[in-house]
């Protein structure tokens, strides 16, 4: 059977058209998926911006309330609201030693419908990061680090940063060290200008700068009953990682009744008239937004000197059973 040249050409043309159509469909499908992904990212960005805007408005509202006479009233009402949760938490903890129960400093507020936990503290209760407090600084850093060598290195470097001279302490750092960094910088040779500036000191460790997320959250009345479960679970896995091993080493060197704290919990650079306002915003899943503010009252308003932020991830559910 003879096949004409025209039939062959027609079939080849149809095949070429079919391949072209398939490629067009692939391209359209790819562009559609990219468009959907683009819109999804745009929506996520918009949602995140909205969330940040609501949070910033809530923060400002809380600080304004703090500066006014209304905050104490709201805090009292919030403490009463939290009382039942605290009683349940104490019962869940099955604590027989009543001397260990303390008043929960966190109160829950809802400015503009945004849930936020707030803690207000006086800075006068903390150690000043100044040369006059050298002994107190050394003692506190020993309790935080636990390991003598690490504590000595950071303490000497911190004191070198604070003093005005170029004399080098045994484990400290001065211009030679900081000048060799990339990029180079100069030591402060004076008081820290912010709490965040301590991160520039030689030997600084971010892991002991912020409070432990779990210990921080277990101060909340809704979670305080889980503190003992966390402590037991933490000891059981103390050798599972280098970070946990460091904490286990610290626990060996610190008395059982002495709380191992962080740099932010132990120290301050602000005068006693300053107030520290801590805020916790619950987020989706296991995330929490943690904000710290150092403020001073100014008439019926306030002056903000510093703000620090972090995102905490804490899997609370694993300690609830």
Domain ranges of the chain: 1-32, 53-125+254-319
CA distance 101 to 225: 11
Enumerate long-range contacts of 189-194, CB under 8 Å, 24 or more apart: 189/161, 189/163, 189/164, 189/165, 190/162, 190/164, 191/129, 191/130, 191/162, 191/269, 192/129, 192/161, 192/162, 192/269, 193/269, 194/269, 194/305, 194/306
Tens-level pLDDT at each residue, the chain (321 residues): 455 555 556 666 666 777 777 888 888 877 777 777 766 666 555 555 777 788 888 888 888 887 776 666 666 766 666 665 555 555 555 544 443 444 558 888 888 889 999 998 989 889 999 999 999 999 999 888 877 788 899 999 999 999 999 999 999 999 999 999 989 999 999 999 999 999 999 999 888 899 989 888 988 888 877 877 877 776 655 444 444 445 455 444 444 434 557 999 999 999 999 999 999 999 988 999 999 999 998 877 889 999 999 999 988 888 876
Q: Are 33 and 27 in contact (CB under 8 A)?
A: no
């Amino acid at each position: 059977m003879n096949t004409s040249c025209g039939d062959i050409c027609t079939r080849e043309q149809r095949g070429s058209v079919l391949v072209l159509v398939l490629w067009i469909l692939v391209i359209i499908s790819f562009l559609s998926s990219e468009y959907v992904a683009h819109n999804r990212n745009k929506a996520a960005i918009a949602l995140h911006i909205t969330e940040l805007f609501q949070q910033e408005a809530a923060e400002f509202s809380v600080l304004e309330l703090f500066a006014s006479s209304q905050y104490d009233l709201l805090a009292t009402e919030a403490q009463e609201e939290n009382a039942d949760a605290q009683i349940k938490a104490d019962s869940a903890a099955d604590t027989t030693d009543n001397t260990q129960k303390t008043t929960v400093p966190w109160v829950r507020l809802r400015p503009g419908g945004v849930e936020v936990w707030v803690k207000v503290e006086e800075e006068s209760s903390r150690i000043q990061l100044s040369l006059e407090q050298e002994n107190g600084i050394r003692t506190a850093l020993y309790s935080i680090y636990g390991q003598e060598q690490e504590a000595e290195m950071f303490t000497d470097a911190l004191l070198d940063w604070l003093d005005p001279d170029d004399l080098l302490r045994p484990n400290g750092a001065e211009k030679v060290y900081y000048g060799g960094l990339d990029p180079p910088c100069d030591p402060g040779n004076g008081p820290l200008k912010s709490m965040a500036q301590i991160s520039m000191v030689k030997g600084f460790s971010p892991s002991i700068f912020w409070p432990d997320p779990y210990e921080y959250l277990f101060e909340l009345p809704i979670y305080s009953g889980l503190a003992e479960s966390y402590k037991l679970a933490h000891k059981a896995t103390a050798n599972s990682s280098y970070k946990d091993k460091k904490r286990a080493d610290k626990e060996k060197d610190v008395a059982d009744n002495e709380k191992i704290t962080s740099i932010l919990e132990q120290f301050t650079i602000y005068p006693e008239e300053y107030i520290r306002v801590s805020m916790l915003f619950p987020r989706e899943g296991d995330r929490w937004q943690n904000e710290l503010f150092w403020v001073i009252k100014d008439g019926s308003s306030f002056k903000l000197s510093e703000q620090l932020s972090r995102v905490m991830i804490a899997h609370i559910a694993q300690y609830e059973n």
